[in-house]
Structure 1
Amino acid sequence: MTVIYKQFKHIITEQVEREQAFLAEYKVGQHTIENPYIKLNPYHIAPLTAVVLFATTEEVAGRVTVKGKEAAGDMSFEFPKAKEHVVQVLGLYENYANQVVVELEDGSTTTLTIQTEAASEKVKAPTLINTTPEYLGNNVIFVSPTSPAMTAAYDYKGDVRWYITLNLAFDLKRAKNGRLLVGTNRLVAPPYHTTGLYEIGMIGKIYKEYRLPSGYHHDHFEMEDGNLLILTQDLPTGTVEDMCVLVDRKTGMILKTWDYKKVLPQDMAGSGSQDAHDWFHNNAVWYDKKTNSLTLSGRHQDAVINLDYETGDLNWIIGDPEGWPQEMVDKYFFTPVGDGAFDWQYEQHACVVLPDGDIMMFDNGHFRAKKKENYVPADQNFSRGVRFHINTEDMTIEQVWQYGKERGKDFFSTYISNVEYYGEGHYMVHSGGIGSLDGETCNRPPVSIKEGTGEVVYKSVTLEIKDDEIMYEMQLPANYYRAEKLSLYCQEDVLTFGKGECLGSLGVTEQMMTEVPAEEVKEVPDTYNVRVGEEEDRIILKATFEKGQLVMLILEGEENTYRYFVPTTKRPFLAMCVGTFQESDERAVEFPVSKEGLVGNLTVKLLIDDTQYDTGMSIQCS
């Protein structure tokens, strides 16, 4: 009998230890601009970054430049006046002897050589890149993966200039403080619900983790006051992806909740991917200050909805009205007008409210109908970015722009994807979930196709259009949830030393209150491949069970015993938006238990079918 037990430090703890180590190294010598201290990948998750430390006798400002492989590839960043200089170096090339020039305003200068290693094979090279350095300027295109790949940023030539080795999921957005907000790599429930959000500096330092009791998925939005709208759910209720919460930026605590079950029917007007568990599938949130409202995309009702921010009441719905109750159609739906072409959107993503009130989104077009007999086959279908003008007084809607329909099945993405608005006539359209199975266009998310089924080819196409001209196009051999155009350097993203914070709460994991009779305690058979991981705030059971086995995790103490039902029958997820958390073995089970509410020295036991097993280990909880 072998039960593997391992303790895991939170990445915030690991990073502060590494930070203390390199700062101690720096203090050993006298480091000037001629002899600076250099630490490549200082926080161990961003291999194409470095920090350069040195001191000057006078306060002086300066500039750092990572030299490009050609002049257009130079990336520069100014750093402020100081005597103790902490210079972030971003935009290094992988597998390259990078030349980095540090210049001070007093004329002092030095050129450093920073050799990087080759990137992981999960950092995909573009199969097509078409733009100019003049157009992209100092920006790079970030993509976050849903198939086996890494979150990465590409320059005008398609060279990767930044990537993260953590399995980070869903949208990646820059906050007002210059840092990135992105989903964590810690799973709370399959197939991709994670603990919450990381706030991470471009150098790879995680400053905060915002944790939620039922986890995070898909999208988030920074409010004017810094508080965060985060998409979540209440897992014990049995449904997912149907709630939004407002989270206090300083404490991580939930301030306000919107539950869509209060305003929408759950058993009608579904898309072809809907089931009772994932009836709405909220994949985007946008706050509009002018109307004080939330706009939300519900993939599994083919609907973009708008809620009053204060009351949560339903204001309107954009979508095909077929299948909805007539009283809702009369009150909340729009009537198409105008002389131009018009198509409703289906299983859409990434709703955006534009300055003039227009609504822009990515229309995936999956099935492109409400009834099965009218479903459009993938090889005859299309996806697109689309802009609608809505009039909420007379409840009319007009399609005023689209791009993608003309590219047909080659641009068709059953899932994920996004649009961005840069100004009138200037947009990004990212079709991130293109795929084929044995040469045939996929009519389901490619990441949901099991190994051995056939040859799956992944593809994403990211393009930018200005005044109807394509100014940028990148194609990658992977699926990516969203794309964002950002600069690597941001003046507000200042590297500060010290330990980051875990904010918010994972809540108390729901217990099974019934004690199940079992035979005497035995040793755990090796066939179950049981592993127990202890994180700073969670206990995680990993094991291999046959479908439908009855499994209970028991934490037994002198005064308290905690029992948890461990699901062994996986749901057939119809909307596998992120496949990077999937186990190759369908029998693999991962079950986390929050330490909140646990007290005492707890012996770890397992009930499997009608037998109770002792793992031989105990965990101390305060």
Structure 2
Amino acid sequence: MQKRVFLKGMLATALTGALQAHAMGTASGPAVVGYAGQQGPLGIVEVNPYGVAPLTAVIRNGGYELLKAHVRVVPKKGGQEIAYDVARPALLTHGGIPVFGLYADYANQVEVDFTYRFDQKEVAGKHTYTVWCGPVHGMETGAAGQRGFLFGVDVKKVDPAFADRLYLVNNIGGPVGANSRVVWNNPMGGALTWNFQPQIAIIDTTGEVRWYLDAHDIWDPNSIYSAGCMMGFRQNTDGAITWGYGQRYVKYDLIGREIFNRRLPTGYNDFSHSMDPMPNGHYLLRVASADLRRIDQKRVRTVRDVIIEVDEDGTVVDEWRLFDILDPYRSDVIKALDQGAVCLNIDASKAGHTLSAEELKAQETSDNFGDIAGTGPGRNWAHVNSVDYDPTDDSIIISSRHQSAIIKIGRDKKVKWILGAPRGWRSPWKEALLTPVDANGKPITCTDVSCEGGFDWTWTQHTAFRIDAKSDKDVIYITSFDNGDARGMEQPALPEEKYSRAVVFKIDQKKHTVEQIWTYGKERGHGWYSPVTSLTEYHEDKDSIVVYSATAGSDFDLSTGAMKGLPNPYIEEFKWGSTEPAVEIQLKNTSGYQAMPISLKRAFELN
């Protein structure tokens, strides 16, 4: 890896040196000459300094003690400006000025104001650098439906108040042929069947890619321990990004510097979906047990049903074994699932098919284990796709897709409440079910699968995030993306009747009630429907709700169930309380997982 990074740096130096004559602006202070790639009064410009973020650079300090800096990437005509201050810790960490948000295949103009100390004096300077970045590149899959490494972008609407937004897009590319080297009984079997090319990028509100992850050096489809779906991206309070994939969980800053890249602790396997940073610097990881002895003495690897808490050093300090905490044999939702869309394992040949009680019964007594929708430890009975921490009572909030339930669990491993339809819950879990109420706090008339007054539970939902800024220890607000499969514990007569929703719930934890206070999506109909993945999340900086309908526009032939093309998902952002989006951006020909705003203030100004 070091050789690869060195060669990239040498190439970047040569390119910036060749463009030196085109540099704009003025500089103050002495300049040391004789270094290839040096354009101004500081050191060389190194593009992609850490080998994983090609649209970043570092302007080396040139031997001076940098004190502060301001960076502005000059936008293309009609483009979005990126400008930020750089605090001294970032200057020290990178040995110079970090540059983020360069355009691909373009000679970028980067305006830099800086102050350094020299000969016991503070010297102010400024310079405009010309920094060339090459075209976006990555590992091609060869799939007929994939057009290029990333995706197309169609900006439909941007409110001026949101024009400075940058959205990190966590999408899932196609399978890579190298995977087949480490599986057996092709196309299934082995450790790497759930392994797809990462498509990770940051776009601006004009649709331009301003950062992307070149994962060649950290993602290897030939290796069990360096492959998997990259998922669970979160920007931490220090501005760095955490996520996981397969048997790893990692942390990198926006310039691409590795903070840590670790294998999962030995007793656990198969990270996916969620890595939640905690206020104390620990992380909650959604994993599975690498070796569980069931009551019937069968030993299995479990599937998406364990949460672990790891500290800063990677030590496991606690675990939540959901097969011991919840009911792994509740089958009501699993029997109603569309077997053509079980999370990312979309199989159009099974579209609309469901599991019968007889099939489930036969499965329970068989040795048919693995990532299959079923009941009992060793099968995909829970499918937890998000974990969020509530610091007010030291609890976790999980989203369980295959139970169509949002569940709060304490440090004592006791269930505090369940937000979900009542059907199929036995004691003691049924006593934890929340009661739906209207805006006046009066109970709503409900059956065990539906309610009056527009209230609905979530169905095969993704994400259940606490709105920290609006919640307290008694009343909390939860955002969720209600995918909508198996709505009402059934499949509709016609596939085009399916729809998804973004939704916000208000939960009174003392009264044990839940009120639906905002929803969006049903009015968009089947064209906005996302059978799998997606996100709904509150962002305090703009008092807004961000929604990613991540597999909307899945192009199925509704008569045959065959998929004709890749999805065309939507990123939307809503002012709090609004039912019309302030931002709508549609991505083209890509399978989405999640998307979220990224803060440069966190990344460069506060660290």
Q: Per-residue CA shift, 1:286-329, capped at 9, x if unaligned?
A: 111112211111101111111112x1111111111112226532
Q: 1:254 to 1:99 in 2, by over 3 A?
A: same
1:50 aligns with 2:169: no
Aligned to 1:341: 454
| Range 104-113 or range 172-181, more displaced | 104-113
Matches within 5 A, 1:146-545: 146-148=172-174, 150-166=199-215, 169-184=230-245, 194-212=246-264, 213=266, 214-236=269-291, 237-249=300-312, 251-268=313-330, 269-271=332-334, 272=337, 273=342, 274-276=373-375, 277-309=379-411, 311-325=412-426, 328-329=429-430, 331-338=431-438, 340-354=453-467, 355-356=470-471, 357-370=476-489, 372=490, 375=492, 377-423=494-540, 426-440=544-558, 454-466=563-575, 467-468=577-578, 469-477=580-588, 478-488=590-600, 490-492=602-604
Following TM superposition, by how much is the alpha carbon of 1:76 offset from its aligned partner in structure 2, in angstroms? 1.9
**Conservation of the 8 A alpha-carbon contact between 1:233 and 1:244:** yes
Q: 1:58 to 1:386 in 2, by over 3 A?
A: closer
Following TM superposition, by how much is the alpha carbon of 1:398 offset from its aligned partner in structure 2, in angstroms? 1.9
Residue identity opposite 1:343 in structure 2: D
Following TM superposition, by how much is the alpha carbon of 1:489 offset from its aligned partner in structure 2, in angstroms? 5.7
Following TM superposition, by how much is the alpha carbon of 1:108 offset from its aligned partner in structure 2, in angstroms? 2.6
**Conservation of the 8 A alpha-carbon contact between 1:239 and 1:279:** no
TM-score by length of 2: 0.69
Residue identity opposite 1:429 in structure 2: V
CA distance in 2, matches of 1:218, 1:442: 30
CA distance in 1, matches of 2:254, 2:326: 40
Matches within 5 A, 1:123-162: 123-137=150-164, 139-148=165-174, 150-162=199-211
Q: 1:425 to 1:45 in 2, by over 3 A?
A: closer
Following TM superposition, by how much is the alpha carbon of 1:38 offset from its aligned partner in structure 2, in angstroms? 1.3
Q: Secondary structure at the match of 1:157?
A: coil
CA distance in 1, matches of 2:497, 2:47: 49
Q: Secondary structure at the match of 1:408?
A: helix
Q: Secondary structure at the match of 2:402?
A: helix
Following TM superposition, by how much is the alpha carbon of 1:408 offset from its aligned partner in structure 2, in angstroms? 1.0
Give the gaps of 5 or more residues in structure 1. 1-10, 185-193, 444-452, 496-622
Following TM superposition, by how much is the alpha carbon of 1:427 offset from its aligned partner in structure 2, in angstroms? 0.8
TM-score by length of 1: 0.68
Q: 1:493 to 1:441 in 2, by over 3 A?
A: farther
Residue identity opposite 1:312 in structure 2: K
CA distance in 2, matches of 1:59, 1:326: 64
Q: Which has the higher helix share?
A: 2
Aligned to 2:44: 37
Following TM superposition, by how much is the alpha carbon of 1:88 offset from its aligned partner in structure 2, in angstroms? 1.0
CA distance in 2, matches of 1:24, 1:131: 37
Aligned to 2:130: 113
Residue identity opposite 1:360 in structure 2: T
CA distance in 2, matches of 1:416, 1:78: 35
Q: 1:44 to 1:126 in 2, by over 3 A?
A: same
- Percent identity over paired residues: 27
Q: Which has the higher strand share?
A: 1
CA distance in 1, matches of 2:133, 2:522: 42
The structure showing larger relative contact order (alpha-carbon pairs under 8 Å, at least 6 residues apart) is 1
Give the gaps of 5 or more residues in structure 2. 18-31, 116-122, 138-147, 175-197, 220-228, 292-299, 343-372, 439-443, 445-452
Q: Secondary structure at the match of 1:109?
A: strand
Aligned to 2:106: 96
Q: Secondary structure at the match of 1:252?
A: coil
Across the aligned residues of Structure 1 and Structure 2, the Cα RMSD in angstroms comes to 3.1
Q: 1:71 to 1:407 in 2, by over 3 A?
A: closer
Number of residue-to-residue matches in the alignment: 460
Q: 1:390 to 1:376 in 2, by over 3 A?
A: farther
| Range 256-265 or range 207-216, more displaced | 207-216
